[in-house]
Amino acid sequence: MKKEEGITILKLGIILIISIMLMTICISTISVSHKIYLLRNYVSQMNTIQEKIIQIRDNYKVWENYNPNETGNFNTYLQSLEFINASGASNLYIDEFNKIINELNKNNTIYWEKSVDSIIANYYYFEPEKIKEVFGIENSKLFVIVNFYTGNIISRDGIEDVKTHRIIYRGCDASNGNKARINSIYNENIQTKIEVVENRGLSQTVKISLLTENEPNALNISEIYYFENDNDEVKKKCSMLTDYRYDETEKSAYFKIKTSGEYKFIIEDTNSVQYKEIKKDFKLCNPPILSENMTGIYYNGDEEKEIENIYDSNWYNYSMNELKMANAKTKDGIYWVWIPRFIFRETDEGTELEFVYDKSNTPTTNIASNTYNLQEAFSENGEITGYWIAKFQSNSEDSVIIKPGLTLAITDKTRATQNSEKYLNDNKLYSSLPTLNKLNAIIILANSYDIEIVNDLVSYAGGSTNELGYMDNVKYSSSNNIYGVYDVITSENELLQESKPNEKGRFRPVLMPK
């Protein structure tokens, strides 16, 4: 048989089909890449416009309670800058913009303020030439209108999102303008993972990642928006938090939650796609209640410093790997330690403790609490969220003087009670002798952290004749550092509400919220 030579029609057809498939794939890849480029370029231009809008708004301060009929109102100001009102005759695209606004209103978009944003006259119109002139963007093809009062910005044409095929008409929101909430995208193949990686009791460090179903690696996050409760209409950026950080390797965002409540998060990836909002309930242990004459303090080495605000991360830490009690100082120089409400149980392994939320018995972690008991100090004479106890015992028989490095006074219960009750009586706190339960709460708290308080005969507040000696004598502290309560266990009686009237001993008052 003669050997067949050359390319047969069948082979040629197969080669042609493969070539067409490869060309289709290449064209599709190029098309997607081009769409991604267009999307990023669009977002970049809209961001540039937004930044300029914020500058303009900042330069003209009279935005609240403006009267459009008054000379010098923001409309007059903008007209002086030659901005063209969107409802003016020179706007050739008024019909297109009205269609967008009608569509937003029809969908009852949450972020859309109908009373202001639906009025086309509140907007100013920019065509490509004006965008180049005002915003310095070369070769822009955007047609946008801007509501300078709310900060809203709308693109006439929008652009198609690569993944969701959603048309984006809207760029950003001015940080000081509209109460904005952006409708988000639901993608069942994308999961938002939220986890608490550190629980400091009064704050929790949160880690957020965007995970795909089939890929082990997370998606890059551009921004995370949050709302503190259901009634919160103001969208806030997590990236504006002072403790926010983004780990490029993990593709995860880290930040701290410092106030209890149910938070809602919207995550935006680097393609400006926003995903369906998710909720997480954060319960933190109860923060200290400072009275008007009280200042929170912490220690930087041997230096005593005042906190910047009640969320100062230096002030306290109740995580199990570090017990740093919240300390405060009244104007008379007396030091105080905050004991937050908690539940506990005794096991063969030792004391287990969980801080609870508000006046409930609900722990700040997700453990089952049915085998735990509320420490009785927090339910005496009504439920309380916590209490202050003097850091040291008193140095005076006739009044409440509590300072470190001074000789401890011995008096009887009647006088100690009178001194404590008349010490402080303002609108937030009241003072009294501690009960046995309130003293025991400190010991239970120390036991739960495996801290053993030294039992010595100590005649000086803080265990030293030196005013700063307590900084080194931490063996007498209930937290084994300078933040604890000193001399809770001594060889002499500590006067309590349960003591007999004529019983003598040392005393320290407690301060409790009314």
CA 485 – CA 462 distance, rounded (Å) = 9
CA 362 – CA 341 distance, rounded (Å) = 10
CA 166 – CA 275 distance, rounded (Å) = 12
What integer is the mean pLDDT of 215-219?
A: 64
Checking if the pLDDT of 153 tops 90, the result is no
Residue 90 sits in the same domain as residue 231: no
Checking if the pLDDT of 173 tops 50, the result is no
Tokens matching residue 64 = 């609240």
The predicted-structure confidence for 7-19, as pLDDT tens digits, reads as follows 677 777 777 777 7
Q: Is residue 264 situated within a structural domain?
A: yes
Residue 418 sits in the same domain as residue 479: yes
Residue 323 sits in the same domain as residue 425: yes
Residue 249 sits in the same domain as residue 376: no
Residue 316 sits in the same domain as residue 219: no
Number of domains present in the structure of the chain = 3
What integer is the mean pLDDT of 65-84?
A: 59
Residue 473 sits in the same domain as residue 347: yes
Q: Is residue 175 situated within a structural domain?
A: no
Residue 350 sits in the same domain as residue 491: yes
CA 190 – CA 119 distance, rounded (Å) = 37
Hey, what amino acid is at 232? Answer: D
31-35, 335-339, 466-470, 497-501: least confidently modelled range: 31-35
Q: Is residue 18 situated within a structural domain?
A: no
Report pTM. 0.59
CATH of the domain at 198: 2.60.40.10
Residue 221 sits in the same domain as residue 141: no
Q: Where does the pLDDT of residue 305 fall: very low under 50, low under 70, confident under 90, or very high at 90 and above?
A: very high
The range of the structural domain enclosing residue 259 comes to: 190-282
Residue 120 sits in the same domain as residue 150: yes
Residue 301 sits in the same domain as residue 437: yes
**222, 247, 282 - which closes a domain:** 282
Checking if the pLDDT of 168 tops 50, the result is no
Q: Where does the pLDDT of residue 446 fall: very low under 50, low under 70, confident under 90, or very high at 90 and above?
A: very high
Q: At 43, which helix (H) or strand (E)?
A: helix 9-59
Q: Is residue 3 situated within a structural domain?
A: no
The predicted-structure confidence for 355-400, as pLDDT tens digits, reads as follows 888 888 888 776 777 889 999 999 987 899 999 999 999 999 999 9
81-95, 422-436, 463-477: least confidently modelled range: 81-95
In degrees, to the nearest 5, what angle opens at C-alpha 388 toward C-alphas 383 and 391? 150
CA 113 – CA 327 distance, rounded (Å) = 45
Contact yes or no for 279/358 (Cβ under 8 A): no
80-84, 264-268, 366-370: least confidently modelled range: 80-84
Return mean pLDDT, the chain: 77
